Amino acid sequence: MAHYVELYDTTLRDGTQAENFNLSVEDKIRITMALDELGIDFIEGGWPGSNPVSVDYFERMQSFKLKHAKLTAFGSTRHFKNSPAKDPNLMALLHAKTPALTIFGKSWDIHVRDALHIELEDNLQIIEDTLAFLRQHVDFLFYDAEHFFDGFKNNEEYALRTLESAVSGGAETIILCDTNGGTLPHEIPPIIARVMTHLAEKDKTVHLGIHAHNDSETAVANSLIAVSLSKVRQVQGTMNGFGERCGNANLTSIIPALVFKMGVECEVRKNIDQLYTTSRLVNELANLPHSRYQPYVGASAFAHKGGIHVSAVKQNPLTYEHIAPDKVGNIRRILISDQSGKANILHKAKQWGLPLSAEDPVLASIISELKDLENQGYQYEGAEASFELLMRRAMGLQRNYFRFESFLVMNHKYLMDKPPLTEATIRMFVGGSEVHTAAMGDGPVNALDCAIRKALTRFYPSLEEMELTDYKVRVLSGEHGTEARVRVLVESRDRQNTWGTVGVSVNIIEASWQALVDSINYKLMQEDNKKLEG
């Protein structure tokens, strides 16, 4: 029987400790659902006792049902002065009402003395009784042995005793953490072997996991080596390797290696062709640029520029590709070819119920338009509503709900110690009616949004239930300073759905207008579809 490995994602907690990596509660929920669709086994949502965002997230998630993943809350062992039943941190974990809990504790004697300021024996006690208290309340209980590899190298006997305490407390899986990221691949096998031997000698039965950081650029290698020992059942990491300092083990590199190169069984194997889009969704929602050189999921991972490489790849892709790109949902990019992206577009057409075949000449025009827009800076991984509208327009299936004639946005800074007044005026046609209206707003984008809604709501009352939930701006190139092109990503929702739209321009107001118009068109299209289905 093949070795089964649990994949544990901590993007929403450990990943958010990365510099410039920030997610709203809405972002975290959207990523959670995408990770569940991918087939991740455990999704660590955050530390409920650490900040209001995590508390809000866990409360919101109680109304969502996951298909496969188990939501996990993260926290520390109890404070030495508190009993488990009266420790606020542990109470916050239970209040999160997740089926799985992960508790971290100290493995390194230096941390026990210098960080916790308690005796070594006291640390063993709080590990055991914290886990014993929580064991009765959850289905899955994991113990993160923080700084284990450094602790083992400094005081092997004590580091192993901390693991004994965790097993005695009821942890079903102990995760060995390279918290500082300084351990090298050749050090992993003998240390894990020693752990296994020691626990067997103590008659302690438990599964092992690995949690590696990337400070030595070895987090992925350390994780894969740990799995290759066939005794490590759980691998922890983050999407795109986000995390504190130099990041965590990158699951977008680990997952395909496990599935395609090591023959490991995991739930993600069934949906691994969603890896590319999941990776890019995380980047888009965090408002961070995609690393085009990232293995497996980067835009350049399967790009062939010219000459001998292109000729060889056309004859046999194996000549310059270690796996087929479509296996992870990526595409082969040959700059002189018009075949790039065809499979992806046909997949989306099928998903959205659009009558598009590989022989349809419209497909070539969609690919051409997509390439042109991507060259301008458009990206659709976080804005699939805009891409669906693009396809529908190309196929002649998109209704024109309104026609814009012009808009004007004015900022009036009338007093230097007061915020400016912002007003947007628009002129458009709806059917045979000309609409000319204005609205005030908190900034130019809000004013424009208010004016559009004011003009259209009397024609389309369903727009009243639509709201803009997120707005992100990214500068695409810096060579022109303030004249640089920007990409605006807008997220909207109604009572049933959430969708993203995109706009690109050297003018931030125009880019915002593009995204807003797409968002409204998508909402109205959804309403039409409901009527047809009804």
Q: What is the C-alpha to C-alpha distance for residues 475 and 431, in angstroms, rounded to an integer?
A: 36
Q: Which long-range contacts (CB under 8 A, 24 or more apart) does 514-517 make?
A: 514/488, 515/383, 515/386, 515/488, 515/489, 515/490, 516/445, 516/448, 516/449, 516/452, 516/468, 516/490, 517/404, 517/452
| Alpha carbon distance 241, 254 (integer Å) | 10
From the centroid of its chain, how far is CA 369? 28
Report the pLDDT value the prediction gives residue 318, as an integer from 0 to 100.
77
Residue that is written with structure tokens 């942890």 in the block:
171
The token pair that represents 47 in the structure block: 């530390």
Q: How many secondary structure helices (H) and strands (E) does the chain include? A: 17, 16
Six-digit token string for 271:
């949906």
Residue with tokens 């399967």: 302
Structural domains of the chain, ranges and CATH numbers in brackets? 6-285 (3.20.20.70), 302-337 (4.10.430.20)
Backbone angles phi, psi at 382, to 5 degrees: -100, 10
Return d(Cα 165, Cα 155) in angstroms, integer: 16
Between CA 491 and CA 419 the distance in angstroms is: 26
Listed as ranges, residues in the chain with pLDDT below 70 are 1-2, 305-314, 333-341, 343, 478-482, 534
Return the DSSP state at 115.
Answer: I
- Please state the length of the chain: 534
DSSP strand pairing (421-430 vs 433-441): antiparallel
Strands 333-334 and 100-106: unpaired
The pLDDT of residue 341 is: 61
Instruction: Give the pLDDT confidence score for residue 320 in this predicted structure.
Output: 77
pLDDT at site 337: 37
Q: Which residue has the tokens 């699951």?
A: 251
The pTM score is 0.75
Buried b (16+ CB within 10 A) or exposed e, 458-481: eebeebeebebbbbbebeeeeeee
What pLDDT, on the 0 to 100 scale, is given for residue 415? 86
Element (H, E) at 346: helix 342-351
Phi, psi of 51 (to 5 degrees): -160, 155
pLDDT for 222 equals: 98
181 Cα distance to chain centroid: 22
CA–CA separation, 471 vs 244, rounded Å?
25
Q: Which residue in this structure is represented by tokens 């300092």?
A: 245
